[in-house]
Copies of this chain bind each other. A is one copy, B any other.
């Protein structure tokens, strides 16, 4: 997998549990759906993949299943953990499973210094043989990269992409944000947008890849946004995103993970609630609303 491959849509499937045990059959099914879709890559064990909640052995097994069921699609594997030695072990496991790339966030419990985060990326990239995506997600990790730090990290070997946690809503500001970052990192490193409701804006602003939650469950809906964006038709991409606004509202209100977990359960793709406790998929009125939205948007016809 070359650095240039870090473009398009990378789909983030859930890693479903059943009675607190990895549900391998359901997971294989989720990955196979993505293998049949038009997404460019699959990222196993990202945030939506609940990776920090899983043990090393569960993660190794999930990585193997993802690679096995993804067919020709490259599989990226998340390797975030609090302890550096655990991250390095996870990187080795993921590569042994056949990962085409690795996704590395700066998980924190004690707030991390910039030098500590740089040293972590330095240690990991010195040992790996596949591309690495830098995952900046302050909401989950508690650590926010600065552009100075992204510039230092992006210059390390194997760094292929930076997953940013959004862009400003205003188009000119969004474009300026991506341009500013691009100006500080090598051309070979792509900038990718996460946070689905901001994806159309991010792609219009110059992001080359969308790290997508909705793409991990409803790849057609994701491609309906990503394909016009790829052709440069950002008005059509924005319209496709606008159409999904009822889904984005649920994502904003409850977190995307609880919404897609409820829908995956409702649609019979997983156990009724496939999340690791203490997390819970949507219940009650919120779940009924999610099911209603999925039906109105035709997402349930993707099955």
Q: A residues within 8 Å of B by Cβ?
A: 20, 47, 50, 52-54, 82-85, 106-107, 109-113, 115-117, 119-120, 123, 139-142, 255, 257, 276-280
Contacts and interface: CB of A to CB of B under 8 A. Distances in A.
B85 A111 contact: no
Contact of A120 (B82, B116, B277): B277
**In the A-B complex, the 7 residue pairs with the closest CB atoms:** A84-B277, A120-B278, A116-B278, A52-B109, A53-B83, A84-B278, A20-B85
Nearest to A276: B83
Contacts of A84: 276-278
Given A52-B82, A53-B83, 9 more contacts: A47-B109, A53-B82, A84-B276, A84-B278, A85-B277, A106-B278, A107-B109, A112-B279, A116-B279
A111 B82 contact: no
A105 to B, nearest CB: 9
17 contacts: A50-B110, A52-B109, A54-B83, A83-B277, A107-B109, A109-B141, A110-B279, A111-B140, A111-B255, A116-B278, A116-B280, A119-B277, A119-B278, A119-B280, A120-B277, A140-B142, A142-B142
B115 A280 contact: yes
A280 B142 CA distance: 18
A229 to B, nearest CB: 27
Nearest to A280: B116
Specify how many copies of this chain sit in the oligomer. 2
B109 A53 contact: yes
Nearest to A142: B142
Contacts of A116: 277-280
Contacts of A107: 109
A138 to B, nearest CB: 10
A15 B117 CA distance: 22
Most B CB contacts (10 A, CB to CB) among A82, A115, A276 go to A82
A141 B82 CA distance: 12
Interface centre among A84, A139, A278 (most CB of B within 10 A): A278
Nearest to A118: B278
A33 B158 CA distance: 47
Contacts of A279: 110, 112, 116
A71 B120 CA distance: 39
Contacts of A115: 280
Contact of A109 (B112, B117, B140): B140
